[in-house]
Chains A and B, each alone.
Chain A
């Protein structure tokens, strides 16, 4: 029943509950209303606004990106030629793009790993805290409301080489902190800033998952002599695995696509492309360097990533991981 909860997950996260698929996408006829209104024109008027926005701002631009990814414009933008997969070959043989892919993978896996482990620890503790759990919940969930770009600014200030408090203390203990010059430090900083706000989101879902585990399971194990540590790994953790897998996908999608603001505020992809994640690169190549074909090909690759993650979420995770 965890899976039915996700239909209202925040925008941007391609998530929804099982019913949406089971009910209408794959077997559309099973969840239909018996009683309906009869009207020839009204339903079209009702869906028109949603469909108009979808076509104009989603489907049309996406198809444009697809078309453009097969074209190459000349230097003056006056004519374009069909070049088959040249743009794709171009990006996949460009060391810069492959580097950006690598950076994105390191970044996403670290953000997901950090945010998930901290959130799981806090959620398990909050679940133990019983009566005070609600108080802790309030104290922990609010960073989710902070925009990624604002999160970037907050951490930028803390670690700023000239006015940042953390940078100052780090220098005192012998770490020469300057994330504007040191790529590893820059990467560490964007990971922390991006994970900081995602901890709250994960915490909420872990806590809901923990609270839905029947208490009798834990009690039975305790009577059999299992300590808290053992109970966690043999009972709680396996029962949490659907939540865990769902959150892994959501966190990776977040790290891939919603962290533009963090990067833009903190590092602008630098120093020397050390934090140049794919989404930032698309923006940079398209808007700053005005490479239309290359940027469109990158967009198409990103679309494939989103579609894959979405499909994985529905097909694989929901069905296979079930205890």
Chain B
């Protein structure tokens, strides 16, 4: 601030606090609803937490909502497996591809590079049906590999690692070669440890991306055993003429937000880095 203006300072903080409150309001209401019984929610729009927190969350986690057929515990596990599978898969294949593209000269190198680049322009949403068909032909419907593999190609991660590898001094590679080391030793002993911060930043971004996948799991899972939590919540809402079990839905919603939100809050440095920075 270049000058002292008390009124403006007040307005600044007031706006920010208002903004933060408005952003948090839907979550607060959701949390409050997850601590009441269904009658209390339907009758009186509670604004303060009630006494049924443990009861509701336990019911969601162990018994599950009535019309879904899987417990929230199972679905959280499915979401976790999918999110971690996508994260590790993307990081692994991108590290390898970037290593090949930067540290080797080979035929079709640029062709491969362009093929990876094109994936940026083909989100799942624009190729829904044919991708579903491929997964069906490969027998991947209702399976963990079907939830993970189609989503692990990553141009963004490959570009990020490629860019980072370009900044690694050539002398390191030269010295390694003079010492008679193999390419894979160089990759594991030198490049991997040096990429730690990039990997951490990507991990945060990709975990959120993986956990929040919705359209693809919706297409390929029909067996409750493989429902992810987000799919489960949507199913809980589809009660037709019946009464939705709001207290359980709201508890599940809080549980669905918890992992990615905690990751953002506690790994904020890596998160912001992953979002905004690539140049080192």
Interface residue ranges, A against B (CB under 8 Å): 1, 4-12, 14-17, 19-20, 23-25, 28, 31, 33-37, 39-40, 42-44, 46-47, 49-51, 53-62, 64-65, 68, 118, 121-122, 125-126, 128-130, 132, 136-151, 153-158, 162-163, 165, 168, 196, 199-201, 204-205, 208, 218-219, 222, 228, 257-258, 260-261, 264-265, 279, 282-283, 286-287, 292, 295-296, 299, 302-303, 306-307, 310
Cβ-defined contact, A257 with B163, below 8 A: no
Which residues on the A side are within 8 Å of B15 (C-beta)?
A: 121-122, 125
The answer to whether the Cβ of B194 comes within 8 Å of any Cβ in the partner chain is no
Which residues on the B side are within 8 Å of A8 (C-beta)?
A: 156, 160, 201-202, 205, 273-278
Cβ-defined contact, A306 with B126, below 8 A: yes
Q: Which one of A53, A60, A286, A306 contacts B128 once the chains associate, using CB atoms below 8 Å? A: A286
Q: Which residues of B248-280 have CB atoms within 8 Å of chain A's CB atoms?
A: 249-250, 253, 256-257, 260-261, 263-265, 268, 271-279
Total residue contacts A-B, CB cutoff 8 A: 341
A8-B201, A19-B163 known; A295+B129 contact, CB < 8 A? yes
Cβ-defined contact, A20 with B159, below 8 A: yes
Which residues on the B side are within 8 Å of A1 (C-beta)?
A: 279
Q: Would you give 30 A-B contacts (Cβ < 8 Å), ordered by A? A: A5-B277, A14-B121, A17-B279, A46-B104, A49-B92, A54-B115, A54-B118, A57-B150, A58-B153, A61-B130, A68-B130, A121-B15, A132-B13, A136-B16, A146-B261, A147-B211, A149-B230, A150-B253, A153-B234, A154-B30, A157-B249, A199-B23, A205-B275, A218-B2, A228-B8, A295-B129, A299-B130, A302-B125, A303-B126, A310-B120
Which residues on the B side are within 8 Å of A168 (C-beta)?
A: 45
The answer to whether the Cβ of B61 comes within 8 Å of any Cβ in the partner chain is no
A8-B201, A10-B205, A141-B264 known; A136+B230 contact, CB < 8 A? no
Cβ-defined contact, A12 with B209, below 8 A: yes
Nearest CB in chain A to that of B152: its residue:
A53
Cβ-defined contact, B256 with A150, below 8 A: yes
Cβ-defined contact, A9 with B275, below 8 A: yes
Cβ-defined contact, A50 with B93, below 8 A: yes
Nearest CB in chain A to that of B20: its residue:
A139
Given A54-B153, A140-B20, A264-B234, 8 more pairs with CB closer than 8 A: A10-B209, A11-B156, A35-B173, A42-B104, A59-B122, A64-B127, A153-B253, A258-B125
Nearest CB in chain B to that of A136: its residue:
B16
Which residues on the B side are within 8 Å of A121 (C-beta)?
A: 15, 19
Cβ-defined contact, B112 with A51, below 8 A: yes
A129-B12, A140-B20, A299-B126 known; A205+B276 contact, CB < 8 A? yes
Stretch of B52-60, B65-73, B212-220 with 4 or more beta carbons under 8 angstroms from chain A: B212-220
Those 9 A-B pairs whose CB atoms lie nearest each other, nearest first: A147-B212, A61-B130, A46-B100, A7-B278, A145-B260, A64-B130, A43-B104, A50-B97, A139-B20
Cβ-defined contact, A61 with B233, below 8 A: no
Cα–Cα, bound, A156→B12 (Å): 31
Q: Which one of A5, A58, A129, A208 contacts B278 once the chains associate, using CB atoms below 8 Å? A: A5
